[in-house]
Amino acid sequence: MRSYDVLAESTAPPVVVWALLLDPRTWPVWSGTGELDVSRSDGLPPEGRDEVGATRAFRAGRAVIRERITGLTPGKRFAYETVESPQLADHQATIDLHEIPGGGTRIRWQGTYSARGMGLRSSERQVWRSMTRAATGLAEYAAGQIVR
């Protein structure tokens, strides 16, 4: 098993970051996951506030990645597992949100996985880069959602 642990900080409060995590329609904008494929997703409510058990599918070209929400601690922890991926097996992740004293949110995105279909060294770098891009993208996009 391999692992990653990335951090990002946003000037947005946790409630703003949390709302983005629950809404799969925003993920393609800030995460680099590709577009949401509603036809391959399951349990997505129309208001964009997914619950435990919802499965989200994201498509980038021909590749489809499907992820199932496995745990939610409102405003604090978002947990999911990858159920279909051309590159990852046994992928489980958590996104923890911590309020920063004085305002803002610290985002900690960590997970474990096994590589599939690519070299071990390149997969570690690629996964770390992808998760760092997602955490940073979430932090920056959330900051842009604040009405001042």
Give residue-wise pLDDT tens across range 87-133. 888 999 999 999 999 999 999 999 999 987 655 555 788 889 999 99
Give residue-wise pLDDT tens across range 16-33. 999 999 999 999 999 988
What the block records as the tokens of 44 is 């997505």
What's the angle, vertex CA 13, arms to CA 10 and CA 18, rounded to 5? 90
Domain range 2-144, CATH architecture = 2-Layer Sandwich (3.30)
Position with higher pLDDT, 41 vs 61: 41
Q: Give the residue among 51, 23, 26, 54 at the shortest CA–CA distance from 40.
A: 54
Q: Once rounded to an integer, what is the mean pLDDT over residues 36-49?
A: 92
Measured over the CA atoms of residue 8, residue 9, residue 14 and residue 20, the dihedral's sign is negative
Boundaries of every domain in the chain = 2-144
Number of other residues whose CB lies within 10 A of the CB of residue 133: 16
pTM for the predicted model, two decimal places: 0.93
Return d(Cα 144, Cα 147) in angstroms, integer: 8
Query: Parallel, antiparallel, or unpaired for β 88-99 and 35-36?
Result: unpaired
Return d(Cα 69, Cα 16) in angstroms, integer: 19
56 - beta bridge partners?
67
Position with higher pLDDT, 1 vs 70: 70
Q: Say what the pLDDT of residue 126 is.
A: 86
Q: Say what the pLDDT of residue 122 is.
A: 55
What the block records as the tokens of 142 is 């959330």
Measured over the CA atoms of residue 10, residue 12, residue 17 and residue 20, the dihedral's sign is negative
